[in-house]
Copies of this chain bind each other. A is one copy, B any other.
Amino acid sequence: MSETRYDFRSDNVGGAAPEILEALVTAGDGTTAPYGDDDHTRAMNAGFSRLFERPVQAFPLASGTGSNSVALASLANRYGAIYCHGTSHINVYECGAPEMFTGAKLVALGGRDFKLQAESLEEALSLAGRGNPTRVQPFALNLTQPTDFGTLYRPAEIAALCDVAHRHGLRVHMDGARFANAIAALDCAPAELTWRAGVDVLSFGATKNGAINAEAVVVFDPGLAKEIPFLMKRGGQVLSKARFVSAQLARYVADDRWLERARQANENAGWLARELAALPGVSMVAPVEINMIFVRLPEVAVTALERGPFHFYRLGRDQRFVCRHDQEPEGMEALVDCVRKALAAAPASRASS
């Protein structure tokens, strides 16, 4: 039964892009050294270096939480503070993994559109008690790009935040679980969103955009790379047959299909958001900039959707719909239709929403 459902839960509910799957399958030919000392991993590194227009070091992992935690650990001291937005993935949805890997405290700030602002970061850091042994010492800034609510930092915003961070002695980690969607939406070079703006280490996610449990820690500051193999091993993040992740990532960045998929997913969500926003009683929770829609539908519509052949998530009184690149057009139309009909049948519900 579940196969007939239209699935808007997340972008990790789908399978693999054909060329990625093929790269995975052929990576099994022959024998090779384990733990990342192999040609596929070298090809992945070359690919990332091309993509970012400079030599980088990339480390393959299977888990996004692992990737964030290792990246942050590479920046950490042992009595430190990581500054992040209160709604960031590392703060809310990783069950304390960043804390366990780093030993640090996450300091959660607010900020409009689920984004940090340079001014409030500046103020928070100026009150952080640098050098005072009763206070945890700031060492890292986490930027989630796109945010967990699908909003986007512009390159200039990232640069301004990195500038504040660097002036206060922090280094910058970007959580790019949906990095492809950000690049596709902003139409800028990966370098522009990362190291040119001041990002020191990036969690590059591919799983949500057509890969199979394939993530990378991409290090722009060579000094950070040395400790990462130890931090990965200590965190159970080193893969015995790492080449099966590396091969996916090498293929992923070998051409522009990753961006095409992301662009299509973004466009799908844009269409869906416009249609929903035009209906009476519907309010958007966040601007729709990538493939995620956060919306508050009248309850009668939510109930109708839950009866119909749709998968999606409730977040308190709000709802989340995520579009994949291969989202079925008829599913999107059916969803809008279902909401429209539910609202038409129960106009009073608008007031109660």
Contacts and interface: CB of A to CB of B under 8 A. Distances in A.
Contacts of A236: 63, 65-70, 94, 97, 101, 235-237
Contacts of A108: 108
A104 interface: yes
A103 interface: yes
Interface string A106-147: 101000000000000000000100000111110000000000
Most central of A73, A105, A241 by chain B CB within 10 Å = A241
A241 B207 contact: yes
A235 B237 CA distance: 9
Interface residues of A, number: 80
Contact of A96 (B12, B16, B66, B234): B234
A121 B62 CA distance: 36
A184 B324 CA distance: 44
Given A13-B34, A30-B15, A79-B95, A230 B65 contact: no
Contacts of A232: 133
| Number of copies of this protein chain within its complex | 4
A92 B136 CA distance: 8
A10 interface: yes
Interface of A: 2-3, 5, 7, 9-10, 12-16, 21, 24-25, 27-35, 62-70, 73, 76, 78-80, 92-97, 99-101, 103-106, 108, 127, 133-137, 207-208, 212-213, 227, 229-241, 244-245, 311, 316, 324
Given A12-B240, A15-B31, A105-B106, 7 more contacts: A2-B32, A3-B30, A35-B133, A62-B63, A63-B237, A93-B135, A213-B239
